[in-house]
Amino acid sequence: MKAKKILIAILPLVVFAILVMVFKSSLNKDPRELETKLVGSPVPSFKLASVTNPEVILTNDDLPKEIFLLNVWGTWCVSCYAEHPYLMKFAKEVPIKWVGMNYKDAPKDAINYLNKYGDPFVYSISDVSGQMGIDLGVYGAPETFIVDANGMIRDRHVGVIDERVWNSVIIPKLKAIGWEQN
Amino acid sequence: MRLIYFLALWLASVTVLASENYQFDSPEQEQAYREISSQLRCPKCQNQSIADSDAELSEDLRFIVYQKLKAGDSKQEILDYMQKRYGDFVLYDPPVSPKNYVLWFMPIIVFIIIIASLVKKVGRRELQPEDEVK
C-alpha cells in the first residue's frame, strides 16, 4: 500500500520529466524547417532554358548521372548573396557537381549576378514562372537538394550552406548515400 | 487621432486583400476558391493561410488554386497537389498518421484511465459497510 502511495507521488514528477524531454528536443529544432515529401521521388520533370545559354533547353535527361547538388537561388534572395562565396569555394575544392535552379528571376539579372560573383554551377535552370519551384516544394531560397545518380531526390536542406553546415550536415548526408570524396 | 490611425491601417489591409481580381465561372467556384485557400497554410509565413498571407509564394499558390479550379479540378485534387509538394504541413486539417497519434488518442486514453480509476474507487467504497454507518 505504501509502495503504491509513493508511486502515485512520483507519477507527476515522471510526467514532468517526460514533458521536459519532449520540449527540450523541440528547442533545438527550427520550426521553419519543413519536411519534404519529395525524398525518394525523382526530380520533377522540367523543360526550361539554361540561364547562361538561353537557346539551350534543359530537361531531366541533362541532369548529371552521378550524385549532385541542386541549388535553388535567385538574385532577389538576400541569403543567396551570403551563400554564394561558399558555393564558389565548395565547387572549386570539392569534386561534386552543382546544378543551379534560378527561381523566379529575370534571366538578365541572373546572368549579371553570375558574371559579378562567379558561376559555381555546371548550368543553371531558368525557372522564370516559378512552376518548377512549386513542383519542388520550394518555400525559402536558398534551398539545396541532394540528388543521386538515378535522378532521385535523397534529401533537402533549407537555408544557407556555410562551412559549418557543409561539414556537419551536407557531407555526412552525401556520404550516407554512397558519395566518396577523393 | 488613434482611431483614425487604426482606421487607416484597417483600410490598408483591406486593399491588400482585394488586390487580386479573379473572375470565376460561378459563385460555387468562388466559394470553393475561398474554402481551399483558407485551408492551405502558407509554407513561408507559417501561421497564416495562403488566403491571408501577402507573401509572394502565397500569391503563386492562390493562382494555382484558381487555375486548377478553372480547369475543373476538385477540391481534393488541389489539396493533394499541394500536399505532395509541401507535405502535411500545408494542410490545416492534416491526416491522422503515426506522427500525430499522440494528439488524437491521448485524450481518449487519459479519459479511459480516469473512468477506470473512478469506477474502481467508487466500487470499493460501496463495499465498505463502515461508510454507511458514518
- The structural domains of chain A, with segments of one domain joined by +, span 32-176
Minimum mean pLDDT among A71-75, B20-24, B64-68: which range? B20-24
Cell numbers for A5: 502511495
> What distance in Å separates residue B5's CA from the closest CA in chain A?
32
Write the DSSP assignment of A124-143 as a string of letters. EEEESSSHHHHHTT--SSSE
Judged against a pLDDT cut of 90, whether residue A167 lies above it is answered with yes
Mutate to test the interface with A, among B58, B84, B86 (most CBs of A within 10 A): B86
Superfamily of domain A32-176, CATH level 4: Glutaredoxin (3.40.30.10)
pLDDT grade for B32, boundaries at 50, 70 and 90: very high
> Which residues of chain A neighbour B60 with C-beta distances below 8 Å?
130, 134
Question: At A163, is the pLDDT very low, low, confident or very high (cuts 50, 70, 90)?
Answer: very high
- Whether ipTM tops 0.90, in short, is no
Judge contact between A153 and A43, C-beta under 8 A: yes
- Tell me the CB-side half-sphere exposure of residue A47, using CA atoms within 13 A: 0
Say whether A35 and B83 touch across the interface (CB within 8 A): no
Long-range CB pairs of A90-96 (<8 Å, 24+ gap) are A90/A120, A90/A161, A90/A166, A91/A120, A91/A121, A92/A120, A94/A181, A95/A181, A95/A182, A96/A67, A96/A68, A96/A69, A96/A174, A96/A179
> What DSSP string describes B31-54?
HHHHHHHHHBB-SSSTTSBTTT--
Give the mutation candidate from A37, A38, A128, A158 for the B interface (greatest B CB count, under 10 A).
A37
Chain B environment of A11 (Cβ under 8 Å) = none
Quick one: pLDDT at residue B21?
79
